[in-house]
Chains A and B, each alone.
Chain A
Amino acid sequence: MSDHNIPDGIFYNKEHEWVKIDGDVATVGVSDYAQDLLTDVVFVELPQMGKVVKQFGPACVVESVKSVSDVYAPIGGTVSEVNTALESAPEQVNNDPYGSGWMFKLTGINSSETANLMNAQQYKEFIAKQAH
Chain B
Amino acid sequence: MPYTSHTEAEVQEMLKTIGVKKIEDLFDAVPPQILQKGHYNLPSGLSEQETRQQVTSTADKNNNPKISFLGGGYYQHFVPAHVRHLAGRSEFYTAYTPYQPEISQGILQSIFEYQSMICRLTAMFATNASMYDGSSASGETCLMAANITRRKKILVARSVHPEYREVMKTYCWAKNLEIEEVAFDVQTGQLDFGDLDGKLSEDVAGLFVQSPNFFGVIEDMPSLSAKTHEKGALSVQIIAEALSLGLLKPPGECEVDITVGDGQSYGLAVSGGGPSFGFMATTEKYMRQLPGRIVGESEDVDGKKAYVLTLQAREQHIRREKASSNICTNQALCALTAVIYLSTLGQNLQKLALINHQNALQMQRQLTEQKNWKRSFSAPFFNEFVVEAKDTQSVLRKLKKVGIAGGFDLGRSYPELEGRLLVCTTELIGQPEVQAYLATV
- How many residues on the A side are at the interface (Cβ–Cβ under 8 A)? 9
Could you say which residues of chain B place their CB within 8 Å of the CB of A65?
Answer: 312-313
Complex Cα spacing A64 to B313, Å: 7
- Pick from B311, B313, B319 the residue with the most CB of A within 10 Å: B313
Question: Does more than half of chain A's interface fall in helix, strand or loop, or is it mixed?
Answer: strand
Distance from B165 Cβ to chain A, minimum over Cβ atoms (Å)? 32
B318 close to chain A: CB less than 8 A:
yes
Could you say which residues of chain B place their CB within 8 Å of the CB of A81?
Answer: none
Q: Say yes or no: A67 contacts B288, CB within 8 Å.
A: no
B322 close to chain A: CB less than 8 A:
yes
Could you say which residues of chain A place their CB within 8 Å of the CB of B311?
Answer: 43
Complex Cα spacing A68 to B311, Å: 11
9 pairs of residues in contact across A and B, judged by CB atoms under 8 Å: A43-B313, A64-B313, A65-B312, A65-B313, A66-B312, A67-B313, A68-B313, A68-B318, A68-B322
A86 close to chain B: CB less than 8 A:
no
Could you say which residues of chain A place their CB within 8 Å of the CB of B322?
Answer: 68
Could you say which residues of chain A place their CB within 8 Å of the CB of B312?
Answer: 65-66
Question: Does more than half of chain B's interface fall in helix, strand or loop, or is it mixed?
Answer: helix
Residue of A nearest to B308 (CB): A65
Q: Say yes or no: A68 contacts B288, CB within 8 Å.
A: no
B-contact 0/1 string along A23-67, CB 8 Å cutoff: 000000000000000000011010000000000000000011111
Q: Say yes or no: A66 contacts B318, CB within 8 Å.
A: yes
Instruction: Tell me the chain B residues, 291-343 only, with Cβ under 8 Å from chain A.
Output: 311-313, 318-319, 322
- How many residues on the B side are at the interface (Cβ–Cβ under 8 A)? 7
Residue of A nearest to B319 (CB): A68
Could you say which residues of chain A place their CB within 8 Å of the CB of B318?
Answer: 66-68
Could you say which residues of chain B place their CB within 8 Å of the CB of A63?
Answer: 313
Could you say which residues of chain A place their CB within 8 Å of the CB of B319?
Answer: 68
Q: Assuming A43-B288, A63-B313, A66-B318, what are 14 further A-B pairs, CB within 8 angstroms? A: A42-B313, A43-B311, A43-B313, A45-B288, A64-B313, A65-B312, A65-B313, A66-B312, A67-B313, A67-B318, A68-B313, A68-B318, A68-B319, A68-B322
Complex Cα spacing A63 to B314, Å: 9
Could you say which residues of chain B place their CB within 8 Å of the CB of A66?
Answer: 312-313, 318
Complex Cα spacing A59 to B318, Å: 19
Instruction: Tell me the chain B residues, 270-298 only, with Cβ under 8 Å from chain A.
Output: 288
Residue of A nearest to B323 (CB): A68
Could you say which residues of chain B place their CB within 8 Å of the CB of A67?
Answer: 313, 318
Complex Cα spacing A64 to B318, Å: 10
Could you say which residues of chain A place their CB within 8 Å of the CB of B313?
Answer: 42-43, 63-68
Residue of B nearest to A68 (CB): B313
Distance from B194 Cβ to chain A, minimum over Cβ atoms (Å)? 35
Task: Please give me the 3 A-B residue pairs with the lowest Cβ-Cβ distance, nearest first.
Answer: A63-B313, A68-B313, A68-B319
Could you say which residues of chain B place their CB within 8 Å of the CB of A64?
Answer: 313
Distance from A72 Cβ to chain B, minimum over Cβ atoms (Å)? 15
Complex Cα spacing A65 to B310, Å: 8
Instruction: Tell me the chain B residues, 241-293 only, with Cβ under 8 Å from chain A.
Output: 288
Complex Cα spacing A43 to B311, Å: 9
Distance from B203 Cβ to chain A, minimum over Cβ atoms (Å)? 19
Distance from B326 Cβ to chain A, minimum over Cβ atoms (Å)? 15
Distance from B198 Cβ to chain A, minimum over Cβ atoms (Å)? 31
Complex Cα spacing A42 to B318, Å: 14
Instruction: Tell me the chain B residues, 363-404 only, with Cβ under 8 Å from chain A.
Output: none
- Pick from A42, A43, A64, A65 the residue with the most CB of B within 10 Å: A65
Could you say which residues of chain B place their CB within 8 Å of the CB of A42?
Answer: 313
Complex Cα spacing A35 to B391, Å: 72
Residue of B nearest to A63 (CB): B313
Distance from A13 Cβ to chain B, minimum over Cβ atoms (Å)? 21
Distance from A93 Cβ to chain B, minimum over Cβ atoms (Å)? 14
Distance from A3 Cβ to chain B, minimum over Cβ atoms (Å)? 26
Distance from B287 Cβ to chain A, minimum over Cβ atoms (Å)? 11
Residue of B nearest to A42 (CB): B313
Complex Cα spacing A36 to B313, Å: 18
Complex Cα spacing A63 to B288, Å: 11
Distance from A44 Cβ to chain B, minimum over Cβ atoms (Å)? 11
- Pick from B312, B319, B322 the residue with the most CB of A within 10 Å: B312
Complex Cα spacing A68 to B312, Å: 9
